[in-house]
Amino acid sequence: MNQTKAIIWDLDGTLINSVDHHWEAWREVMAEEQITLTFEDFVADFGKRNDEILRSRIDPQMSDVEVARIALLKEEKYRRFVRTKGLTLLPGAQDWLQQLKADGWRQALGTSAPQGNIAAAFDVLSIESFFDAVMSSEQVKAGKPAPDVFLVAAEKMQIDPENCVVVEDAPAGIEAARRAGMKSVGVLTTHEELKADWVFRSLEDLPSGFFDSVFEQ
């Protein structure tokens, strides 16, 4: 049993294959705002909160009201796509979630996704039971690359940060793990390079017993 150590999972691009739905939603909502968004722009922003994306892409001085309006439109589109077009776990995700739970690990979700998106994913994939804590960056002061979402997730599980491993697909998340004093595993699903402690092409590439070995070093 590993009740004194924990895995903190990112959601989009790490556990779930949601890139196409997010891209379609962002492209539509930005077009409605007369903003051209390239796929490269979209990938560069992956893992960040909506307020940070909108202020960097449209107007640094955008009001909270305007941010909330556009963000809601985008997320409503995304959730509609999830519920009408479906959602899948990325290769290896189901196996690791099940194995770690069976082995007694604490697991948390630490994501930049709004809580409504988390709920949509849970509704479609039925994975909520794997997590001992679920944290959205909406619930903390600052989103990734600030460490807040991971630190609060660890606190909720009553696990020290140095005993947590973050699994992420985005540079902002890897940096958040570093600032939190946590180990990091990067999966190259949305980016070609990550500066994590360990990097794998896919969750399927993690060797058996990998997370035990992380804390033996």
Stated pTM of the model? 0.87
3-state secondary structure of 116: helix
For 164-195, what is each residue's pLDDT tens digit?
999 999 999 999 999 999 999 999 998 889 99
3-state secondary structure of 47: coil
Beta-carbon contacts of 34 under 8 Å, excluding residues fewer than 6 positions away, are none
Q: What is the pLDDT of residue 56?
A: 92
- H/E segment holding residue 101: helix 93-102
pLDDT along the chain (217 residues), means of 10: 85 94 94 92 85 92 94 94 95 97 96 92 96 92 92 96 96 96 96 95 96 84
Give 6's DSSP letter: E
- H/E segment holding residue 187: strand 183-187
As given in the structure block, the two tokens for residue 96 are: 């690791």
Give 118's DSSP letter: H
CA triplet 98, 90, 203: central angle to 5 degrees? 70
